[in-house]
Every structure is written in C-alpha cells, then in structure tokens.
Structure 1
Amino acid sequence: MIVTKSTGLIRFYHATRYSLKGLKAAYRSEPAFRYETWAALAMLPFSFWIAQSGLQLGLLISTLLLVLIMELVNTAIEAIVDRAGTEFHALAGLAKDLGSAAVLFSLFITALVWGGIIYDNFLVG
C-alpha cells in the first residue's frame, strides 16, 4: 500500500493543527509549561520597554521562546520514556535528567541575555 503525503497548503494546515494540538496538550498536562508560558507573557511587554533596538527586542523575545521550546522538548522526552515502561532504568532516568538540564540552561541563557541588555541600557548608558 502506497501512502502519499499531503503537500503545499494542505500539509501546512495539518502541520499547524498538530502543533496547536501539542501546545494545548503541554499546557493542560504540564504545570512547568503553564508557569513558563505565564512568565513569558508577563515578561513580553517589558521586552518592548527594555529593548533599544530591534536586535535587542529579538533577543529578549527569543530567549522567552527558547525556554518554552526546551520545556516542550523535555516534555516529549518524558512522554517517550514513560511510554517505554514504568520500571526504573538508568538510561530512562538519564534522559529525563538531561531534558530537565536543557530547560535549566535555557533559563540561564534568558537571565544572561535579559541581565546583559538591562545592564547595557540602564546601568551603563
């Protein structure tokens, strides 16, 4: 049996639906994703006030999105590991810990970028 994949606008439509379905699932099932979403939404208006150029604005907003992206990847890793089995396995634990570490590093990047831009724009200038 040959299965043909959608192309063009139909593929884009379906891909968008799947993406929105994933976002809804993450928001409903993952408290960390909800907290980070609300934090990003709270910080977004400040990015327009803090930034003094388009590049700075892009960096500030990109770091907020980076945290959400890493949380989605972490959630996907956890779902796959949990699907594979409920018994403890060192590699399963490692995979979950590494996903969590990726989220942590994205938070560090966000703090560094926001701190650096705030420092440059308000404390030095």
Structure 2
Amino acid sequence: MENKTSRRQNPPYHLLRNASYALDGLRDILRTESSFRIEVVLFVIFQAIAIFLPVTTVAKAVLSVSLFIPLLAELANSAIERAVDLVTQEFHEMAKRAKDAGSALVFMSFVTTIVIWGWVLYVEFLA
C-alpha cells in the first residue's frame, strides 16, 4: 500500500498540464530553431502535395504520416543538443559524438521520408 510520501513524490498524471509542457516545448523550438521552422514549411508544402495527388486514400495517409518523421527527429536532436550544451560548452569528444548522432538521426529521417515517398509514388504511378 502506498503511503503519503510516495504519492507526493509521484503526483498523479495530469493530461492538461503535460500538454501545456509539450506546447511550451514546441513554441520554444519554433522560436529558437531555424532548421525546425524550415522543416515545418516543408511539411506544409508536402502535406498540400500529398492531399492533392491523385492517389488512394491509404497512399495519402502514408505520405502524410511520413512527413512527421523529420519533425520528430528534429525535436529529438534539439533535445540532445540542449542537454549536451547544459552539461558543457567546451569541446569534448563525447559531446561531439552525441550531437553528431542527433544530426545523423535527422539525416536518416529525411532519407526514410524520401524512400517512403518514392515507394508510394512508384506503386501508385508506375507499378
């Protein structure tokens, strides 16, 4: 049975409070990360293309969902960079590796999205 101390250490889950933290994070990333803003613009452009392409509804859904992959990767990369910068502003090989891994995540997310789009468009128009 839980005692009062453990309940205070683990407060109940509050959906609205957690959603407000998420929105704060999105606002901050949009305000401070130019690469994320560029990716949002690309998201909007390619989302419009996906909507108007003469493909099946399932293909539209796959194309649309795939556009979130780079945005999610950029959020993770920004979190990695901020955590590393919090620990040290000096050059350190492990800090570089962490930041490079975050950049690789973003790069691979774009490759994945391009492959998904290529595959869907091939199946819809050439197969």
Normalised by the size of structure 1, how large is the TM-score? 0.89
Stretches of structure 1 that go unaligned for 5 or more consecutive residues are none
Amino acid at match of 1:39: L
Amino acid at match of 2:19: T
Corresponding pairs, count: 121
Shift, 1:59, TM fit: 1.6
1:76 aligns with 79
Contact 1:63 1:106 in 2 (8 A): no
Q: Match for 1:45 among 21, 24, 48? A: 48
Shift, 1:47, TM fit: 1.0
Shift, 1:57, TM fit: 2.1
Shift, 1:12, TM fit: 0.8
Shift, 1:4, TM fit: 4.6
1:6 aligns with 12
1:106 aligns with 109
Q: Matched residue of 1:43: which SS?
A: helix
Supply the distance in 1 between the matched residues of 2:43 and 2:86 (Cα, whole angstroms). Answer: 30
Larger Rg: 2
Stretches of structure 2 that go unaligned for 5 or more consecutive residues are none
Shift, 1:51, TM fit: 6.2
Percent identity for Structure 1 against Structure 2: 31
Amino acid at match of 2:23: L
2:28 aligns with 25
Per-residue displacement from partner, 1:2-32 (whole Å, max 9, x unpaired)? Answer: 335133xxx1101110111111111110010
Over aligned residues, Cα RMSD in angstroms? 1.5
